[in-house]
Structure 1
């Protein structure tokens, strides 16, 4: 054989060997990539499931807190409505003259707030005018609303701001 043909045969053998080695390496690399892809998919699935479970827990806690807040609000609203209803009942009774609003107190003549020269004495009852009665009931309704709001806020702080 001639040296050119031997060289060509050796070159051809080298190309075939290199191509075969390349192909085998490609198969191994493809298998590794497939294995990595499966592992990646398994990790993504695990992370996704954990995130979904955590989201469900958070939503359940949020729903429970919202329900508890709604219950507290309902209780506070009912108490306030009952107190305001009682105040309105007393106002109507005073307006209908079934009952009168009287204030018991004492005044001394030497008090700077008393403009009269006569004294009312101690432990006397003062009957208010109808306008003053309405004003007192309006003030009382405001106090009831403020106390109800304060109680609701205190309950909220006790229950949810621990």
Structure 2
């Protein structure tokens, strides 16, 4: 081998070593960039996850507050309904056992029959005709447990 070929081989080896070194440095830099990018991506994912968890907690708190309001409203409604049913049953019992007497004041004339009611009619008296039928329907509707009238007027 001639000295020129040794020089050429040395320059070629030097170029290979330099290219390998540059390649290695590029690999390190690219790896560092990928690691930084992965870290930023992980930070973004954590932020998104935290925001979603906060939203879920807020929605659960709203749902719980709504459930509590509905429960209180339902309890109040149930209590009112139960009290009304008890009052209605008590009134029915009092009417059935004649503990409660109804007195009805009518105008001087019954508008449907054209007859006048005597002024001396007492509370224990009997009212006949259309006025009695209207009174019976009204009493049935007021004392009925049904939400709709028992007898339509």
Instruction: Give the structure-1-normalised TM-score.
Output: 0.65
1:93 corresponds in structure 2 to: 94
> 1-side partners of 2:101 and 2:63: how far apart?
50
Q: Output the aligned Cα RMSD.
A: 3.2
**Poorly superposed stretches of 4+, deviation over 6 Å:** none
- Which has the larger strand fraction? 1
- Of 117, 120, 131 in structure 2, the residue corresponding to residue 120 of structure 1 is 117
Distance (Å, rounded) in 1 between the aligned partners of 2:108 and 2:33 = 100
1:142 aligns with 2:147: yes
Cα–Cα, structure 1 residues 25 and 96, in superposed 2: closer, same or farther, change >3 Å?
same
The CA distance in 2 between the partners of 1:102 and 1:22, in whole Å, is 112
Which whole-Å CA distance do the structure 1 matches of 2:69 and 2:94 have between them? 37
Count of residues in Structure 1 that have an aligned counterpart in Structure 2? 137
SS at match of 1:70: helix
Which residues in structure 2 correspond to 1:33-48 (within 5 Å)? Answer: 33-48=34-49
How far apart are the structure 1 equivalents of 2:73 and 2:34?
Answer: 58
Alignment-derived partner of residue 17 in structure 2: 16
User: Which stretches in structure 2 are left out of the alignment for 5+ residues?
Assistant: 149-153
Answer 1 or 2: higher relative contact order, Cα 8 Å, separation at least 6.
Answer: 1
State the Cα distance separating 1:5 from its structure 2 match: 5.9
In structure 1, runs of 5+ residues without a counterpart are 144-162
Partner of 1:66: 67
Tell me by how many angstroms 1:73 deviates. 1.4
The structural deviation recorded for 1:87 is 1.4
Note if contact 1:91-1:134 (Cα within 8 Å) is conserved in structure 2.
no
TM-score (normalised: structure 2): 0.69
Q: Which residue of 2 aligns with 1:155?
A: none
Larger radius of gyration: 2
Distance of aligned partners of 1:53 and 1:102 in 2 relative to their CA distance in 1, 3 Å threshold: same
* Partner SS state of residue 116, structure 2: coil
CA-to-aligned-CA distance 1:6-58 (integer Å, 9 cap, x gap): 55554443333222211210111101111221222122223212321231122
Q: Tell me, in whole angstroms, the C-alpha distance in 2 between the residues paired with 1:119 and 1:16.
A: 131
